[in-house]
Amino acid sequence: MKFAIQINEGPYQHQASDSAYQFTKAALEKGHEVFRVFFYHDGVGNGTRLTTPPQDDRHIVNRWAELAEQHNLDMVVCVAAAQRRGLVDDGEAERNQKDATNLHPKFRISGLGQLIEAAVQSERLVVFGD
């Protein structure tokens, strides 16, 4: 089965990101395909490279990045939600005259069209969080 995954909650404020990660990992291990993982609303916080949890805590951003590396996942952060929350890549930093970036390199910023495409191209869109 081909899945699209949408995450609407931040990495440490809600169970949604952990649940989405575990679901995605299990689906991939069972041989299913994940067309795209789309981070929306507060879920864009899963894409910041500046997250530094305590050593005894899970590093959710790195978990997503490692899963993306292992399975060549397309990890998309919503541009509007990212801008509202101060998450920028090189292009957005230049366009908005910011002097730094904070998007993890395994993620990319794009628009809602990527979510629509993922839903159309997949057999199931699974949403985590409100």
Give the separation between CA 27 and CA 36, rounded to whole angstroms: 13
Angle, to 10 degrees, between the axis of helix 16-29 and the axis of helix 60-71?
20
Of 104, 117, 125, the C-alpha closest to 20 is 125
Q: What are phi and psi of 102, to 5 degrees?
A: -145, 15
**Are 102 and 88 within 8 A, CB to CB?**
yes
Active-site annotation, residues:
78
* Element at 29 (helix H, strand E): helix 16-29
